[in-house]
Each structure stands twice: as structure tokens, then as C-alpha cells.
Amino acid sequence: MGNLDIITIVLIAANVMISYKGFNDFSFFEKYKFNIGAIRRGEQIRMFSSGFLHADTAHLFFNMFALYLFSDLVIFDIGKFNFFVVYLGSLIAGNLLSLYFHKDEYHYSAVGASGAVTGILYSAILLRPERDYYFLFLPSRIGDVDLGIPGFVLGIAYLLYSIYGMKKRIGNIGHDAHFGGAVGGYLITLILMPSLLQTNLLMVGLLAIPIVVLFVLQKMGKI
């Protein structure tokens, strides 16, 4: 991987500085985290600011590492400004979906760049759906068998797992923010590059399957 683009460096630096401020200043953390009650009272800044706060250093590291892995690919395909639009749009989309699903849970709180980063990940997959991805610390091949997972398979599987996580409330994880971020990344990328509807319509359709599944389940009252 080449040198990080300046926009990625700025985003990582902003996340690190604001998160560390939150680690050491409880009142700052409480003032800017995602909280349903506060947002419904009119503190909409939390919809944005919460995406730059993290629960701990491990949470911060994994989000920034994922951003590092996928940012250059998206920047290369759609440019710096559009990358930034996808990042911020996905952040807001993730928090909007969280707000929708938890609107009556006034004490519900969350922090993290996961929605924004998942949007970048899903944008990368939409742009290069047939690119293979490999798990860290695992071999890329066993004998003649390539262990790479095509991007579109990874994307669909991840969002289906997010739906399952939302339904079962698995772990202390904002599955709805992840899902909303991915939807944001998907839709914004299509708006910015409508040519994908002509050049790779099949993959665009396949990657929309989990979004349709969530919509149907929500309409049926299953989530």
C-alpha cells in the first residue's frame, strides 16, 4: 500500500485527538456522544460529533486501521472530495438509522466512527466488487486453494450479519450504525458514480439485497 492521502491522515488525526480528549474529559465525552434523549431535545451536533469519539483505544485503533485499509482504494476511484462526502454521509446515515431504531430508548448511547468506516468499506466493495479480500493473520492460500473472499460476498455477508446482530442485540455493538453507514456508502457512491449502474448493474443489484431484506423485515415488524 502506498503513502496515505492527506485527507485520510486528517480524518485519522481528528479521530485520535477528539477521542483522546474524550478519554480524559468525561464531561466532554458525555456532551458529544450519541444519545437519543439529548438528540431528541435538539442537540443534533451529537449526530456528527459522536462519530469522532471512541469507547477506548482498541475501539479507536480498529476503526482507524479499517479506514487505513480501504481509504486509498476509494480515493483512487472517486477522488478526495467525493471520498470525504462518502465518509461524512455514511457517518450521518449510520446515526440516522440508529436514531430510527432506538428512537424510544432515551438512554441509548453510542460512539465511534464505525458507520463512516463501514460506508467507506461498502463503497470500496461497490467500486471493486470482484476484488478478493483476505483475513489478517491467516494464509492467503492453502496449497492450490486461494482463500480470498470476493468483495461482493464479503459485503453481503457482513450486512446480513448486521441484520442478525440488530435483531438479536448481539454484543455491545452498534449493528444498526454499521448497517446505516454501509447503506450511506452504497447510495452516495452510486449518486457520485451513476455509471456503475451501466457497467456493473448485476453487482449493484446483489449488494442491494441486504438493504431490501432489512426493509422487508422492518415492514413485517421482525426488527
Q: Residue 43 is part of which domain span?
A: 6-219
Give residue 42's region: left, alpha or beta (phi > 0; psi -120 to 50). left
1 within some domain: no
Return the CATH number at 47.
1.20.1540.10
Question: Mind listing the pLDDT tens digit for each residue in 184-204?
Answer: 999 999 999 999 999 999 999
Mean pLDDT (whole number) for 60-77 = 93
2 has pLDDT over 60:
no
> In this structure, is the dihedral angle defined by the CA atoms of residues 209, 175, 103 and 16, taken in order, positive or negative?
negative
Domain count, the chain: 1
User: What percent of the chain has a predicted confidence (pLDDT) above 90?
Assistant: 67
Whose grid coordinates read 428512537?
A: 103
Question: Mind listing the pLDDT tens digit for each residue in 74-127?
Answer: 999 999 999 999 999 999 999 999 999 899 999 999 999 999 999 999 999 999
26 within some domain: yes
